[in-house]
Amino acid sequence: MTRQHAPTSSGGRRAWLGLAVVLGPVLLVSMDGSVLFLAMPSITAALSPTADQALWMLDVYGFAVGSLLVAFGSVGDRYGRLRLLLIGSTLFGIGSTAAAFAPNPEVLIACRALMGVAGATLLPSALAVLSELFPDPGRRARAIGIFAAAFAAGFAVGPVVGGALLGAFWWGSVFLVNLPVIAAFLVLAPVLLREVRATRTGRVDVLSVVASAGGLLLTIHGVKHLAAAGLSVLPVVTGSLGLATLAFFVLRQRHLEHPLIDFSLFRDRTFTVAIITGLLPLAAWSATAYLSGIHLQSVLGLSVLHAALLALPGAAVLTLTCVVTPAVVDRIGKKAALVVCHFTIAGGLLLLLPTTVTGGIGWYVASTVVTGLGYGISFSVVADTAVGAVPAERAGSAGAIAETGNEIGNALGIAVLGSLATLVFRLQGPDLAPTLDETLRLPDLAATALRDAEDAFVTGLHAAVAVAAVLHAALGAVALRLLSGPTAGDPGRNHPDEPELTREQLSGRA
């Protein structure tokens, strides 16, 4: 690996200042994945999107981030991580400004897509920078714990920030809040961070980038339309084409000298379970946060600020768990942490089942607190596992795999579980409009129709929650079985070329 201005100290003051600077865009990228959850009723009232447009406003950002993370992780490894961070931050600021003043749903969706592309440049390079700032495994694990806490805090406080801003300003303020952080990063990053790139890592395979992004978008497009409009030729064709494209992507990676995703990493059972752990919890979290936000506001009638404040206890638990998880993992190991993660989330999700059309606030708060423990474990363990699995020059690519799981999970949660809730509403609701919010906007809505719509929405919420809980319980059982024996990945899997001592160091016990 060729370094330009390598860090002068391992985990010294400059390294921690560099970490602080990197956390700004990390917080924004994750926060913008959830900031619209409580803002959607206000945006819906202002822009009047269709049900399909409303879902794209929410998840096109996650799809853009998730589908390009691996590609930009490789770009950063090849052409410079600091350069990519600066370009991405600039584009993120431009997209945020344009989104704040979007005149219609189409423009807002386009701006969210641009922000997603920019976000995809930031996360893998930011995580890779940590492997350079903190080459010592112990300090790197603590730094990644803080990184994961910032990433998790962004997701958790996104709805809170959105609710607080909407209590005083118009809906565009949820995007303009990004600009001061972006400006500070652009000023400080060139001073505190130093360019690092790898050599002999090959070119980025454009066809793989197109196949991964196109396959994801086509697949999810089919799923969303099947849920919203029922069985028809178009969604079946697009979904099937998307799955075929993703299969082509996977096969192509196996024949490339420098693939976007090194699937050999998945031979390690702990690494595999950890990456899946990066996807499923975000799917459950995003879907339940979005649907619960509608339940609190549109069904129970709470203000957006009140709903935001109810999310604070869970956000605090999630963030704190991210910080302390590295120390806990040193004692119990990654295997046990992964198992505890999934069973905790499953139990917390089930606490949402007692919610009704007339109550459930206490159950909602309890659910966010319990699941916050599991979510916090997942964020921290996944990031450290990915970065510790490869040599430093591949850190951007490996980190991108972990963040891809998070972002795709975030988008899939709304697209798949949100579509499941939409399907239940369409089948059991009053059949006046595709969604609850659209039904509530109908003039002269009868009381019986209103009650039927609210009942159908809560049933859809319960269906999504139950499916997510079952998936987590199943993955917890799989993790318990697969990780019961010794694996190379616990507590840290090193690259095959690295000596056994490094593997011990990665456990934090050297």
Whether residue 461 is predicted with pLDDT greater than 80 in this model: the reply is yes
Measured between alpha carbons, how far is 65 from 71 in angstroms, rounded to an integer?
10
Instruction: Report DSSP letters for 52-67, one per residue.
Output: HHHHHHHHHHHHHHHH
Which single residue is written with the structure tokens 């499953």?
Answer: 346
Alpha-carbon span 493 to 370, nearest angstrom: 29
Average pLDDT estimate for 1-18: 56
| Range of lowest pLDDT (155-164, 300-309, 379-388, 492-501) | 492-501
**What percent of the chain is predicted at pLDDT more than 70?**
76
pLDDT tens digits, one per residue of 420-440: 888 888 888 888 877 787 788
Report the pLDDT value the prediction gives residue 202, as an integer from 0 to 100.
58
Give which of 36, 52, 167 is closest to 102, Cα–Cα: 36
* Stretch 79-98: mean pLDDT: 84
d(CA 304, CA 293): 8
Residue 501's pLDDT is 36
pLDDT at 497 over 50: no
215-224 mean pLDDT = 75
Is the model's pLDDT at 375 over the cut of 60? yes
The pLDDT of residue 5 is 42
Residue 13: other Cβ atoms inside 10 A: 8
SS3 assignment, position 244: helix
Give the per-residue pLDDT at 460. Answer: 92
Selection from 32-41, 119-128, 211-220, 370-379 with the highest mean pLDDT: 370-379
Question: Rounded to an integer, what distance in angstroms lies between the CA atom of residue 263 and that of residue 276?
Answer: 13
pLDDT of residue 483: 66
Write down the pLDDT at residue 7: 41
User: Measured on CA atoms in the order 226, 457, 430, 58, is the torsion positive or negative?
Assistant: negative
pLDDT band of 503, cuts 50, 70, 90: very low
Q: Which residues have a Cβ under 8 Å from the Cβ of 337 and sit 6 or more positions away?
A: 325, 328, 329, 377, 381
Residues 337, 344: Cα–Cα separation, whole Å: 10
Q: Give yes or no for residue 502 having a pLDDT over 50.
A: no
Q: For 19-68, how does the pLDDT look when each residue is reduced to its tens digit (9 = 90+)?
A: 888 888 878 877 777 777 667 777 887 888 877 777 778 777 877 776 67
Q: Is it true that the peptide bond before 159 is cis, omega within 30 degrees of 0?
A: no
For range 95-124, the mean pLDDT: 87
- For 467-492, the pLDDT digits (tens) are 999 999 998 888 787 766 544 444 44
Give percent of the chain above pLDDT 90: 11
DSSP 3-state assignment of 198? coil
Q: How do residues 320-370 score in pLDDT, each as one tens digit?
A: 887 788 778 778 777 788 788 889 999 999 999 999 999 899 999 999 999
Position 195 confidence tier, pLDDT thresholds 50, 70, 90: low
Q: What is the pLDDT of residues 169-192, one digit of tens each?
A: 888 888 888 899 899 888 888 877
Q: Is 359 left (phi over 0), alpha (psi -120 to 50) or beta?
A: beta
CATH for 13-205+256-506 is 1.20.1250.20
What mean pLDDT value characterizes the chain? Answer: 76
pLDDT at 4: 42
Report the b/e string of 60-74 with b at 16+ CB within 10 A. bbbbbbbbbbbbbbb
131 neighbors 144 (Cβ within 8 angstroms): no
